[in-house]
Amino acid sequence: MALAWVWTTSFITRFQKKESAFAVRMKCGKSQSSSCCVRRETTSCLSQSLHKASSAKLDWSNLGFSFMPTNCYVYSTYRNGHWSELETCSETSIKIPIAATVLHYGQAAFEGLKAFACKDGSIRIFRPEKNAERLQLSATRVMMPPVPKEMFLDAVVRAVRENCEYVPPYGSGGSLYIRPFLFGSGARVGLGPSDEYTFIVFVVPVGDYYKGGLAPVTAIVTDDYDRAAPLGVGNVKVGGNYAADLLPYMQSKEKGYPVNLYLDPVERKYIEEFGTSNFIAIGNNKQSFITPNSKSILKSITNQSLMQLAQEELGLQIEYRKVAIDEVSSFDEVAACGTAVVITPVGRIVYHDKVISIGKNPDQVGPTLKQLYELVTNIQFGNVVDKRHWMYLVN
Ligand SMILES: Cc1ncc(COP(=O)(O)O)c(C=O)c1O
Protein backbone atom coordinates (compact mmCIF):
# COMPACT_ATOMS: atom_id res chain seq x y z
CA MET A 1 0.00 0.00 0.00
CA ALA A 2 2.69 2.45 1.09
CA LEU A 3 4.78 1.37 -1.87
CA ALA A 4 1.90 1.96 -4.26
CA TRP A 5 1.44 5.45 -2.83
CA VAL A 6 5.14 6.28 -3.26
CA TRP A 7 5.04 5.03 -6.84
CA THR A 8 1.85 6.95 -7.68
CA THR A 9 3.17 10.19 -6.18
CA SER A 10 6.42 9.86 -8.07
CA PHE A 11 4.52 9.11 -11.29
CA ILE A 12 2.32 12.17 -10.86
CA THR A 13 5.34 14.38 -10.18
CA ARG A 14 7.11 13.04 -13.29
CA PHE A 15 3.94 13.52 -15.33
CA GLN A 16 3.63 17.11 -14.20
CA LYS A 17 7.26 17.70 -15.10
CA LYS A 18 6.75 16.18 -18.56
CA GLU A 19 3.65 18.30 -19.06
CA SER A 20 5.51 21.47 -18.19
CA ALA A 21 8.42 20.49 -20.45
CA PHE A 22 5.93 19.94 -23.25
CA ALA A 23 4.29 23.30 -22.60
CA VAL A 24 7.66 25.03 -22.90
CA ARG A 25 8.44 23.21 -26.13
CA MET A 26 5.05 24.07 -27.61
CA LYS A 27 5.43 27.72 -26.77
CA CYS A 28 8.82 28.20 -28.37
CA GLY A 29 9.68 28.15 -32.05
CA LYS A 30 10.00 31.85 -32.74
CA SER A 31 13.53 33.07 -32.24
CA GLN A 32 13.98 35.80 -29.67
CA SER A 33 16.62 38.45 -29.75
CA SER A 34 19.69 37.29 -27.89
CA SER A 35 23.25 38.41 -27.85
CA CYS A 36 24.52 34.91 -27.27
CA CYS A 37 23.95 33.36 -30.64
CA VAL A 38 24.99 34.52 -34.07
CA ARG A 39 23.16 31.82 -35.99
CA ARG A 40 19.98 30.64 -34.35
CA GLU A 41 18.48 27.28 -35.06
CA THR A 42 14.89 27.21 -36.18
CA THR A 43 14.52 23.52 -35.46
CA SER A 44 11.09 22.43 -34.38
CA CYS A 45 10.69 22.57 -30.65
CA LEU A 46 8.84 19.29 -30.64
CA SER A 47 11.02 16.64 -29.11
CA GLN A 48 13.50 15.06 -31.44
CA SER A 49 12.98 11.33 -31.62
CA LEU A 50 15.60 9.35 -29.75
CA HIS A 51 15.86 6.60 -32.34
CA LYS A 52 19.22 8.12 -33.31
CA ALA A 53 20.61 7.65 -29.79
CA SER A 54 24.32 6.75 -29.71
CA SER A 55 24.56 6.86 -33.54
CA ALA A 56 27.42 9.41 -33.79
CA LYS A 57 30.51 8.03 -35.51
CA LEU A 58 32.79 8.16 -32.49
CA ASP A 59 35.29 5.77 -31.01
CA TRP A 60 33.26 5.23 -27.85
CA SER A 61 35.97 3.21 -26.12
CA ASN A 62 38.51 6.01 -26.45
CA LEU A 63 36.65 9.11 -25.35
CA GLY A 64 38.42 11.37 -22.91
CA PHE A 65 37.01 14.31 -20.96
CA SER A 66 37.32 17.18 -23.41
CA PHE A 67 35.21 19.52 -25.48
CA MET A 68 33.89 18.52 -28.87
CA PRO A 69 31.15 20.14 -30.92
CA THR A 70 27.75 18.45 -30.86
CA ASN A 71 24.48 19.36 -32.63
CA CYS A 72 23.57 22.36 -30.51
CA TYR A 73 23.32 23.90 -27.06
CA VAL A 74 20.19 25.16 -25.28
CA TYR A 75 19.93 28.69 -23.91
CA SER A 76 17.74 31.34 -22.37
CA THR A 77 18.42 35.00 -21.60
CA TYR A 78 17.18 37.03 -18.65
CA ARG A 79 16.11 40.61 -19.32
CA ASN A 80 13.73 42.99 -17.58
CA GLY A 81 13.01 40.40 -14.90
CA HIS A 82 12.06 37.57 -17.27
CA TRP A 83 13.65 34.48 -18.73
CA SER A 84 13.16 33.99 -22.47
CA GLU A 85 11.82 30.70 -23.82
CA LEU A 86 14.46 28.01 -24.28
CA GLU A 87 16.06 27.92 -27.70
CA THR A 88 18.82 25.93 -29.38
CA CYS A 89 21.90 27.18 -31.18
CA SER A 90 24.41 25.19 -33.21
CA GLU A 91 27.35 27.60 -32.82
CA THR A 92 30.15 26.76 -30.42
CA SER A 93 30.99 30.37 -29.56
CA ILE A 94 28.96 33.26 -28.19
CA LYS A 95 29.06 37.04 -28.53
CA ILE A 96 28.84 39.15 -25.36
CA PRO A 97 29.63 42.80 -24.51
CA ILE A 98 33.26 43.59 -23.66
CA ALA A 99 31.99 45.04 -20.37
CA ALA A 100 29.92 41.95 -19.40
CA THR A 101 30.10 41.42 -15.64
CA VAL A 102 31.24 37.82 -16.09
CA LEU A 103 34.47 39.04 -17.71
CA HIS A 104 35.43 41.54 -15.01
CA TYR A 105 33.66 40.66 -11.80
CA GLY A 106 33.34 36.90 -12.26
CA GLN A 107 29.55 36.78 -12.12
CA ALA A 108 29.33 33.14 -13.17
CA ALA A 109 28.26 29.76 -11.84
CA PHE A 110 28.11 26.31 -13.38
CA GLU A 111 27.04 22.74 -12.84
CA GLY A 112 28.13 19.31 -14.05
CA LEU A 113 25.93 16.23 -14.35
CA LYS A 114 25.58 13.17 -16.57
CA ALA A 115 23.09 11.33 -18.77
CA PHE A 116 23.43 7.60 -19.30
CA ALA A 117 22.25 5.13 -21.93
CA CYS A 118 20.61 2.55 -19.69
CA LYS A 119 20.22 -1.20 -19.97
CA ASP A 120 16.51 -0.94 -20.88
CA GLY A 121 17.25 1.34 -23.86
CA SER A 122 16.22 4.54 -22.07
CA ILE A 123 18.37 7.62 -21.52
CA ARG A 124 18.39 8.90 -17.95
CA ILE A 125 20.03 11.76 -16.07
CA PHE A 126 21.45 11.28 -12.57
CA ARG A 127 19.71 13.49 -9.97
CA PRO A 128 19.31 16.71 -12.03
CA GLU A 129 16.99 18.26 -9.43
CA LYS A 130 19.96 18.42 -7.06
CA ASN A 131 22.04 20.33 -9.61
CA ALA A 132 19.11 22.68 -10.24
CA GLU A 133 18.98 23.45 -6.51
CA ARG A 134 22.73 23.94 -6.24
CA LEU A 135 22.83 26.30 -9.21
CA GLN A 136 20.12 28.36 -7.52
CA LEU A 137 22.26 28.57 -4.38
CA SER A 138 25.32 29.61 -6.40
CA ALA A 139 23.35 32.17 -8.41
CA THR A 140 21.88 33.80 -5.33
CA ARG A 141 25.32 34.09 -3.68
CA VAL A 142 26.73 36.14 -6.56
CA MET A 143 23.52 38.10 -7.16
CA MET A 144 22.33 36.37 -10.32
CA PRO A 145 18.66 35.47 -10.82
CA PRO A 146 18.18 31.78 -9.91
CA VAL A 147 17.16 29.64 -12.88
CA PRO A 148 13.71 28.18 -12.08
CA LYS A 149 13.97 24.47 -11.36
CA GLU A 150 11.49 23.46 -14.07
CA MET A 151 13.36 25.53 -16.62
CA PHE A 152 16.67 23.96 -15.59
CA LEU A 153 15.19 20.46 -15.96
CA ASP A 154 13.59 21.29 -19.32
CA ALA A 155 16.88 22.71 -20.57
CA VAL A 156 19.01 19.71 -19.57
CA VAL A 157 16.47 17.25 -20.97
CA ARG A 158 16.29 19.19 -24.20
CA ALA A 159 20.08 19.42 -24.50
CA VAL A 160 20.28 15.63 -24.14
CA ARG A 161 17.43 14.98 -26.59
CA GLU A 162 18.83 17.28 -29.25
CA ASN A 163 22.22 15.59 -28.93
CA CYS A 164 21.09 12.02 -28.34
CA GLU A 165 23.47 10.71 -31.04
CA TYR A 166 26.30 11.63 -28.68
CA VAL A 167 25.12 9.63 -25.67
CA PRO A 168 27.70 6.83 -25.44
CA PRO A 169 26.01 3.43 -25.87
CA TYR A 170 25.14 1.16 -22.97
CA GLY A 171 28.11 -1.09 -22.26
CA SER A 172 30.76 1.40 -23.37
CA GLY A 173 31.03 2.77 -19.84
CA GLY A 174 30.76 6.33 -21.19
CA SER A 175 28.14 8.98 -20.54
CA LEU A 176 26.97 12.34 -21.79
CA TYR A 177 28.41 15.08 -19.59
CA ILE A 178 26.00 18.01 -19.21
CA ARG A 179 27.38 21.46 -18.44
CA PRO A 180 24.75 24.06 -17.46
CA PHE A 181 26.11 27.52 -16.69
CA LEU A 182 24.86 30.98 -15.92
CA PHE A 183 26.65 34.31 -16.22
CA GLY A 184 26.21 38.07 -16.21
CA SER A 185 26.07 39.01 -19.89
CA GLY A 186 25.07 42.64 -19.51
CA ALA A 187 27.57 45.52 -19.80
CA ARG A 188 28.55 47.35 -16.59
CA VAL A 189 31.72 49.20 -15.71
CA GLY A 190 31.21 50.10 -12.03
CA LEU A 191 30.92 47.20 -9.59
CA GLY A 192 27.35 45.94 -9.44
CA PRO A 193 25.28 43.03 -10.64
CA SER A 194 24.47 42.79 -14.34
CA ASP A 195 20.97 43.57 -15.57
CA GLU A 196 21.15 40.78 -18.14
CA TYR A 197 22.05 37.09 -17.77
CA THR A 198 22.57 34.12 -20.04
CA PHE A 199 21.89 30.49 -19.12
CA ILE A 200 23.39 27.85 -21.40
CA VAL A 201 23.43 24.05 -21.35
CA PHE A 202 25.89 22.21 -23.57
CA VAL A 203 26.85 18.56 -23.60
CA VAL A 204 29.91 16.45 -24.47
CA PRO A 205 30.29 12.68 -24.60
CA VAL A 206 32.84 11.42 -22.10
CA GLY A 207 34.51 8.05 -21.68
CA ASP A 208 34.87 5.49 -18.95
CA TYR A 209 37.71 6.80 -16.83
CA TYR A 210 38.26 3.40 -15.22
CA LYS A 211 38.55 1.16 -18.25
CA GLY A 212 41.44 -0.61 -16.57
CA GLY A 213 39.72 -0.76 -13.14
CA LEU A 214 39.74 1.60 -10.17
CA ALA A 215 43.35 2.54 -9.48
CA PRO A 216 44.45 4.48 -6.37
CA VAL A 217 46.36 7.74 -6.79
CA THR A 218 48.66 9.71 -4.49
CA ALA A 219 47.25 13.08 -3.39
CA ILE A 220 49.16 16.04 -1.98
CA VAL A 221 48.05 18.48 0.70
CA THR A 222 48.16 22.05 -0.61
CA ASP A 223 49.42 24.04 2.34
CA ASP A 224 50.61 27.24 0.74
CA TYR A 225 47.20 28.23 -0.67
CA ASP A 226 43.61 28.13 0.58
CA ARG A 227 40.67 27.00 -1.52
CA ALA A 228 38.04 29.09 0.24
CA ALA A 229 37.61 31.56 3.08
CA PRO A 230 35.51 30.47 6.10
CA LEU A 231 32.49 32.58 5.13
CA GLY A 232 33.44 32.96 1.48
CA VAL A 233 32.10 31.18 -1.58
CA GLY A 234 33.55 27.68 -1.14
CA ASN A 235 30.07 26.17 -0.71
CA VAL A 236 28.90 27.33 -4.14
CA LYS A 237 30.03 26.45 -7.64
CA VAL A 238 31.17 29.82 -8.90
CA GLY A 239 33.83 30.22 -11.58
CA GLY A 240 36.33 32.13 -9.42
CA ASN A 241 36.81 29.15 -7.10
CA TYR A 242 38.29 27.20 -9.97
CA ALA A 243 40.52 30.06 -11.13
CA ALA A 244 41.91 30.17 -7.57
CA ASP A 245 42.61 26.44 -7.67
CA LEU A 246 44.40 26.47 -11.04
CA LEU A 247 47.86 27.39 -9.78
CA PRO A 248 47.95 24.96 -6.82
CA TYR A 249 46.39 22.24 -9.00
CA MET A 250 48.91 22.64 -11.82
CA GLN A 251 51.80 22.81 -9.35
CA SER A 252 50.61 19.56 -7.75
CA LYS A 253 50.30 17.92 -11.16
CA GLU A 254 53.80 19.02 -12.12
CA LYS A 255 55.08 17.32 -8.96
CA GLY A 256 53.27 14.15 -10.05
CA TYR A 257 50.15 14.32 -7.88
CA PRO A 258 46.88 14.29 -9.82
CA VAL A 259 44.73 15.55 -6.93
CA ASN A 260 45.36 18.22 -4.31
CA LEU A 261 43.74 18.35 -0.90
CA TYR A 262 42.93 21.60 0.91
CA LEU A 263 42.88 22.10 4.66
CA ASP A 264 40.73 24.56 6.58
CA PRO A 265 42.01 28.12 6.16
CA VAL A 266 41.84 29.01 9.87
CA GLU A 267 43.78 26.31 11.72
CA ARG A 268 45.21 24.34 8.79
CA LYS A 269 44.28 21.27 10.78
CA TYR A 270 41.05 19.95 9.33
CA ILE A 271 40.37 18.53 5.89
CA GLU A 272 38.17 20.59 3.58
CA GLU A 273 38.08 18.97 0.15
CA PHE A 274 40.05 18.25 -3.00
CA GLY A 275 40.20 20.93 -5.72
CA THR A 276 37.25 19.52 -7.64
CA SER A 277 35.88 16.74 -5.44
CA ASN A 278 34.84 15.93 -1.87
CA PHE A 279 36.89 13.87 0.60
CA ILE A 280 35.40 10.59 1.81
CA ALA A 281 36.86 7.85 3.98
CA ILE A 282 35.98 4.46 5.40
CA GLY A 283 37.18 4.05 8.97
CA ASN A 284 36.42 2.81 12.45
CA ASN A 285 37.24 -0.77 11.40
CA LYS A 286 35.26 -0.40 8.19
CA GLN A 287 32.11 0.47 10.11
CA SER A 288 31.94 4.18 9.29
CA PHE A 289 31.63 6.40 6.26
CA ILE A 290 33.46 9.60 7.19
CA THR A 291 33.28 12.93 5.39
CA PRO A 292 34.13 16.48 6.52
CA ASN A 293 31.46 18.92 7.59
CA SER A 294 32.46 22.50 6.84
CA LYS A 295 30.61 25.61 5.68
CA SER A 296 33.17 26.21 2.95
CA ILE A 297 32.87 22.84 1.17
CA LEU A 298 30.80 22.33 -1.98
CA LYS A 299 28.01 19.84 -1.22
CA SER A 300 28.80 17.08 -3.68
CA ILE A 301 25.77 15.26 -5.08
CA THR A 302 27.94 12.16 -5.53
CA ASN A 303 28.96 12.34 -1.88
CA GLN A 304 25.36 12.69 -0.70
CA SER A 305 24.42 9.68 -2.83
CA LEU A 306 27.34 7.57 -1.59
CA MET A 307 26.52 8.53 1.99
CA GLN A 308 22.94 7.37 1.60
CA LEU A 309 23.99 4.10 -0.05
CA ALA A 310 26.65 3.49 2.59
CA GLN A 311 24.04 3.81 5.29
CA GLU A 312 21.08 2.11 3.64
CA GLU A 313 22.78 -0.62 1.61
CA LEU A 314 25.94 -1.36 3.57
CA GLY A 315 24.72 -0.48 7.07
CA LEU A 316 27.64 1.90 7.70
CA GLN A 317 27.51 4.57 10.33
CA ILE A 318 27.76 8.10 8.89
CA GLU A 319 30.31 10.40 10.47
CA TYR A 320 29.67 13.84 8.99
CA ARG A 321 32.02 15.91 11.13
CA LYS A 322 35.29 17.78 11.31
CA VAL A 323 38.05 15.49 10.07
CA ALA A 324 41.61 16.25 11.20
CA ILE A 325 44.45 15.63 8.75
CA ASP A 326 46.20 13.76 11.58
CA GLU A 327 43.43 11.13 11.61
CA VAL A 328 43.98 10.09 8.03
CA SER A 329 46.57 7.42 8.81
CA SER A 330 43.94 5.56 10.85
CA PHE A 331 41.45 5.30 7.98
CA ASP A 332 40.93 2.05 6.08
CA GLU A 333 40.09 3.64 2.72
CA VAL A 334 40.10 7.17 1.30
CA ALA A 335 38.77 8.63 -1.95
CA ALA A 336 37.90 11.79 -3.81
CA CYS A 337 34.33 11.78 -5.12
CA GLY A 338 32.45 13.74 -7.77
CA THR A 339 30.38 13.52 -10.94
CA ALA A 340 33.31 13.18 -13.33
CA VAL A 341 34.55 9.79 -12.12
CA VAL A 342 32.32 8.98 -9.09
CA ILE A 343 35.27 7.79 -6.94
CA THR A 344 39.03 8.28 -7.22
CA PRO A 345 40.64 5.99 -4.63
CA VAL A 346 43.51 7.67 -2.78
CA GLY A 347 46.20 5.28 -1.56
CA ARG A 348 48.68 7.81 -0.22
CA ILE A 349 48.65 11.45 0.86
CA VAL A 350 51.76 13.61 0.87
CA TYR A 351 51.64 16.05 3.79
CA HIS A 352 54.65 18.31 4.38
CA ASP A 353 57.56 15.89 4.16
CA LYS A 354 55.58 12.78 5.15
CA VAL A 355 53.78 10.23 3.01
CA ILE A 356 50.68 8.91 4.75
CA SER A 357 49.69 5.43 3.58
CA ILE A 358 46.03 4.51 3.68
CA GLY A 359 44.90 1.05 4.77
CA LYS A 360 46.68 -2.26 4.45
CA ASN A 361 47.17 -2.09 0.70
CA PRO A 362 47.50 1.47 -0.60
CA ASP A 363 48.03 0.22 -4.16
CA GLN A 364 44.58 -1.35 -4.40
CA VAL A 365 41.11 0.09 -4.15
CA GLY A 366 39.51 -0.87 -0.84
CA PRO A 367 36.55 -3.27 -0.86
CA THR A 368 34.00 -0.85 0.64
CA LEU A 369 34.72 1.98 -1.79
CA LYS A 370 34.64 -0.51 -4.66
CA GLN A 371 31.24 -1.72 -3.48
CA LEU A 372 29.97 1.86 -3.26
CA TYR A 373 31.30 2.64 -6.74
CA GLU A 374 29.45 -0.36 -8.12
CA LEU A 375 26.24 0.51 -6.28
CA VAL A 376 26.18 4.01 -7.82
CA THR A 377 27.21 3.01 -11.34
CA ASN A 378 24.71 0.13 -11.41
CA ILE A 379 21.95 2.62 -10.64
CA GLN A 380 23.27 5.07 -13.25
CA PHE A 381 23.39 2.48 -16.05
CA GLY A 382 20.06 0.93 -15.04
CA ASN A 383 21.54 -2.44 -14.09
CA VAL A 384 19.50 -2.48 -10.87
CA VAL A 385 16.11 -1.14 -9.85
CA ASP A 386 16.30 2.59 -9.14
CA LYS A 387 14.31 2.36 -5.92
CA ARG A 388 15.18 5.90 -4.82
CA HIS A 389 14.02 7.46 -8.12
CA TRP A 390 17.36 9.15 -8.68
CA MET A 391 17.34 8.70 -12.45
CA TYR A 392 15.40 11.26 -14.48
CA LEU A 393 13.91 9.87 -17.69
CA VAL A 394 14.74 11.72 -20.91
CA ASN A 395 12.77 9.73 -23.48
C1 LIG B 1 34.90 21.79 -5.47
C2 LIG B 1 34.11 20.59 -5.81
N3 LIG B 1 33.79 19.74 -4.83
C4 LIG B 1 33.06 18.63 -5.07
C5 LIG B 1 32.61 18.34 -6.35
C6 LIG B 1 31.79 17.12 -6.59
O7 LIG B 1 30.43 17.46 -6.71
P8 LIG B 1 29.42 16.55 -7.50
O9 LIG B 1 29.46 15.22 -6.86
O10 LIG B 1 28.10 17.21 -7.32
O11 LIG B 1 29.89 16.52 -8.90
C12 LIG B 1 32.92 19.20 -7.39
C13 LIG B 1 32.44 18.92 -8.74
O14 LIG B 1 31.40 19.44 -9.09
C15 LIG B 1 33.67 20.36 -7.12
O16 LIG B 1 34.00 21.20 -8.11
In a 3-state reduction of DSSP, which class is residue 73?
A: strand
Ligand 1 neighbour 302 (Cβ under 6 A): yes
Q: Give DSSP secondary structure letters for 258-281.
A: SEEEEEPTTTS-BEEEETTBEEEE
CA separation for the pair 262, 245 (Å, rounded): 10
Residue 341, ligand 1, Cβ within 6 A:
no
Atom in ligand 1 nearest the alpha carbon of residue 131: 10
Ligand 1 close to Cβ of residue 294 (< 6 A):
no
pLDDT tens across the length of the chain (395 residues): 333 333 333 333 333 343 333 333 323 333 333 344 433 333 333 344 688 999 999 999 999 999 999 999 999 999 999 999 999 999 999 999 999 999 999 999 999 999 999 999 999 999 999 999 999 999 999 999 999 999 999 999 999 999 999 999 999 999 999 999 999 999 999 999 999 999 999 999 999 887 777 899 999 999 999 999 999 999 999 999 999 999 999 999 999 999 999 999 999 999 999 999 999 999 999 999 999 999 999 999 999 999 999 999 999 999 999 999 999 999 999 999 999 999 999 999 999 999 999 999 999 999 999 999 999 999 999 999 999 999 999 98
Q: What is the pTM of this model?
A: 0.89
Contact 176, 168 (CB under 8 A): yes
Residue 282: strand pairing partners: 289, 333
Residue 14: DSSP 8-state: H
Site to probe by mutation for ligand 1, drawn from 110, 177, 277 as the one with most ligand atoms within 8 Å of Cβ, is: 277
List 95, 130, 237, 299, catalytic entry: 237
| 360 is annotated as an active-site residue | no
CA 173: distance to chain centroid?
A: 17
The Å distance, Cα 277 to ligand 1 centre, comes to 5
CB 219 within 8 A of CB 274: yes
Domains plus CATH for the chain?
27-208 (3.30.470.10), 217-380 (3.20.10.10)
Q: How far is the CA of 240 from the centre of ligand 1 (A)?
A: 14
Question: Which atom belonging to ligand 1 lies closest to the Cα atom of 113?
Answer: 11
Long-range contacts of 380-387 (CB under 8 A, 24+ apart): 380/114, 380/116, 380/124, 380/126, 380/175, 381/116, 381/117, 381/118, 381/119, 381/170, 382/116, 382/118, 382/119, 382/120, 382/122, 382/124, 382/170, 383/119
What is the C-alpha to C-alpha distance for residues 181 and 147, in angstroms, rounded to an integer? 10
